[in-house]
Amino acid sequence: MKPAWDTLKLLAEPTRLRILAILLSEELSVAELQEALGMSQSRISSQLALLRQADLVIDRREGKKSFYSIQPNLEATDNSLIKAAIDAVTDSPELREDSDNLKRVIHRRREVAEAYFNLIAGRLGKNYCPGRSWEAIGHMLLHFVPKIVVADLGAGEGMISQLIARQAEKVYCIDRSPKMVEVGMELADDNQLENLHYLLGDIEEVPLDDETAHISLLSQALHHANRPEKAIAEAFRITKHGGRIIILDLKEHTFEKARELYADAWLGFAENKIHSWLNNVGFENVSVSTVAKEVEEPHFETILATGIKR
């Protein structure tokens, strides 16, 4: 355990304290920290290096980008000192401005993804989508049983839900793109699927009551989430006891252009990361495996994860 004096010395520098305060709310890249704090890259990078060396923050590389967040396993003393220092200056003009800037950064993230999905609404099932294949979908559909309530989180137009609804008791499609919801409702009406309901909402704040669904489905949606672990926690909340979560998503990859081409927030996920998130929120009998690999470059792989809520 390092001396508390060392942490106090780090917290005495305003820039480092502002960085810690903003990272308590959100994992951010250096560019996003620049925008939120209004500082140069060199200034932020040098302070991040000191905070990382002191094990107060951690970094995560994804493609060419590095993302920074608070060390999740902070020592109790460090945690108390950081919170006390931030509380002492929480009403300062600098921290209030940082908070407002952070909201704009996060809002811009969402706008990029929403603009992309609004643009392709009505064509999503016809165009190429990384990780979506009938082979992978076939693996997923094996987990379904008739006469259940399904929550399709990040459903888009609800291509999968359109199939499920023909046998399920009820299916809720949740998506944050107004255009996707509009197109989905039209498809449901055209196909006379009265048990298929579209709701505008975010998978990190699902507009459904606790224990609504027998199955919570995240099909190629998690890598668009700002906080995937929060989306999984929401899936746990709305899943009935005895129900399950099913995740179909991209395996961790390095195809950086996916951010621009498909508005991806994450370059897929490692199997152990999905496994850890599912366990942490309370799912049991967790299983995560690779179920498909595309033959064409960049050879996207698809993982299937399941878990049960006892």
The arrangement of secondary structure in 134-308, i.e. its CATH architecture, is 3-Layer(aba) Sandwich (3.40)
Looking at the chain, which residues constitute the CATH 1.10.10.10 domain(s)? 4-110
- Confidence check: pLDDT of 124 > 90: no
Angle, helices 14-23 vs 30-37, to 10°: value is: 110
Residue 210: its H or E element: none
φ, ψ (nearest 5 deg) of residue 256:
-60, -30
Residue ranges matching CATH 3.40.50.150 in the chain:
134-308
Which residue blocks in 220-295 are alpha helix, DSSP H?
Answer: 228-238, 258-262, 271-281
Q: Return the closest-CA partner of residue 216 out of 129, 264, 138, 281.
A: 281
pLDDT tens figures, 284-302: 999 999 999 998 999 999 9
The pair of structure tokens assigned to 18 is 């502002």
The pLDDT tens digits of the residues spanning 75-105 come to 999 999 999 999 999 999 999 999 999 999 9
pLDDT at 33: 95
List pLDDT tens digits, range 208-230. 999 999 999 999 999 999 999 99
Class assignment of domain 4-110? mainly alpha
